[in-house]
Amino acid sequence: MDSNNLKIHEQIKVVPQSSSSTQTTITPLTFFDIFWLKFHPVERVFFYTLPNSQSHPSFFFQEIVPNLKSSLSLTLQHFIPLAGKIVWPNDSSKPFIQFNPNEDDKGVSFLIGESDLDFNHVIENSPQDASFSRSLIPLLESTDSFASIISIQITLFPKSGFSIGISTHHAVLDGKSTTMFIKAWAYLCNKTIETLEESPTLLPKLEPLFNREIIKDPNELSVNFTNYWIHVMTQKFPNEKANNLEILPFEPKLKDYVRATFKLTREDLDKIKQKVLSKWEIFYPNESKPQMLSSFVITCAYLHVTIAKAMNGVDKEKEKFSFLFSVDCRARLEPPIPNNYFGNCVWVQFPDTQPLDFIKEDGVLLVAKCIHEKIMMIDEKGVLEGAKDCINKFISLTSEGYEVMGVAGSNRFGVYETDFGWGRPEKVEIVSIDRGLTIGLAESKDGNGGIEVGVVLNKDVMDLFSTLFLEGL
């Protein structure tokens, strides 16, 4: 963490309110979870503006922080596993989540700080130093014997506002679950401020379902993935134990890198859609063109083609690109599982693009067609078709020199609805996209059907990307 701009006031552990239960809670990990065991944490930051009086340090630390703290404790009552840790004892064939109420360091790490960065500058959309947002994200602890699940950082920008930075372990939560947890916390924070209720109840849609029995694993994928991680750790760190829970180091790219947010309005998306569909008829006269293309397909195709062209424009040797995206499987499993299932329920998909598709003149059409066809195939053959080969596919692409691009977040999460009682967020950012070649998606803040996209690129690539992005519209 770049602590130059950060003054730390307090770091505590927040525990579930009235965790009078002396029972240790064990929550198994499914194959969906174990797949992500070694991946970097997902890091998000929510920015909120405050009136001058409320963003004064004395008011903020005496009034607002206690509200956030007590409502977090209330929320954790409903989300007990999050206050625990991932552990992997020697006598267990695979890791699991454990909350032990008698442990001294149970609970969620909660850091309270103050930043001297210029708030209005940090929330700008135009390119700025990639490291700025990093100081607002808490560290998620992982050691050889345990891994924390979630950590939170509240940062005051005096006279302007504050941010909530949240770092989550990908083996316990996917994007939908993380968003649900944050919304539950915001809802209870609002409720306690409004009604001063001691322990208000959650809305049914925010009540998490932790039942792991409903995830079936007929192909023993969890054994497969566990063995894979044991193999990786033994190869990479021969002197360490194989059931080591340290997260692999996906270092953020910060030196000479900038972060920016780009907006695609509903009109922009319609324009790109029409362009793609009219070319579809010319390029593929014998195929019926789709009635519609989703905003997700169009955004991913447009953004990744523009990134590839910008990277290739700056460095001609970068010409082989591939793309992967995650699909929410809750409604796609047989039988479907409830929407409030809490854990990972996403699966990685590789559209069948060709290495040079992304830098061709009609790249947007070629890539959009591949993504659309992949989604059609998932609906036809099932979302876990070819699941066993997923990791090998990724490894072979990177070893063949492909730039593999990804996507984080979703325009369906409704992150801009997250109101803790001081208004909706001014901005929401997925900070962890700087750990790979990934774009961060969110719905448009103004709620008019557009999409916001976060991008972190090398400065020269970002300059060219910005030009190409606007030209394409």
Query: Mind telling me the catalytic residues?
Result: 170, 419
Cα–Cα distance, 145 to 401 (Å, whole number): 34
**Number of residues that make up the chain:** 473
Residue 468 has what DSSP assignment?
A: H
Cα–Cα distance, 60 to 50 (Å, whole number): 10
Cα–Cα distance, 58 to 350 (Å, whole number): 51
Cα–Cα distance, 313 to 375 (Å, whole number): 30
Cα 46 from chain centroid (whole Å) = 13
8 Å CB contact between 84 and 99: yes
Cα–Cα distance, 436 to 83 (Å, whole number): 28
Cα–Cα distance, 137 to 120 (Å, whole number): 18
Which amino acid would we find at residue 473? Answer: L
What Å distances lie between residue 98 and 25, 129, 151, CA to CA?
6, 38, 16
Dig out the tokens for 13 from the structure: 């552990």
CB-based contacts of 104: which residues, under 8 Å, 6+ apart? none
8 Å CB contact between 162 and 55: yes
Cα–Cα distance, 13 to 55 (Å, whole number): 24
Three-state DSSP state, 439: strand
Which amino acid would we find at residue 161? Answer: G
Helical (H) or strand (E) element with 223: helix 221-236
Sheet with 257-264: list strands edge to edge: 128-129, 257-264, 451-458, 438-443, 403-409, 321-323
What is the b/e burial string over 206-242, where b = at least 16 CB atoms within 10 angstroms of the residue's CB? bebebebeebeeeeebbebbbebbeeebeeeeeeeeb
Phi, psi values for residue 312, rounded to 5°: -70, -35
Cα–Cα distance, 369 to 301 (Å, whole number): 9
Render 245-301 in DSSP notation, one character per residue: -PPP------TTEEEEEEEE-HHHHHHHHHHHHHHHHHH-TTSPPPS---HHHHHHH
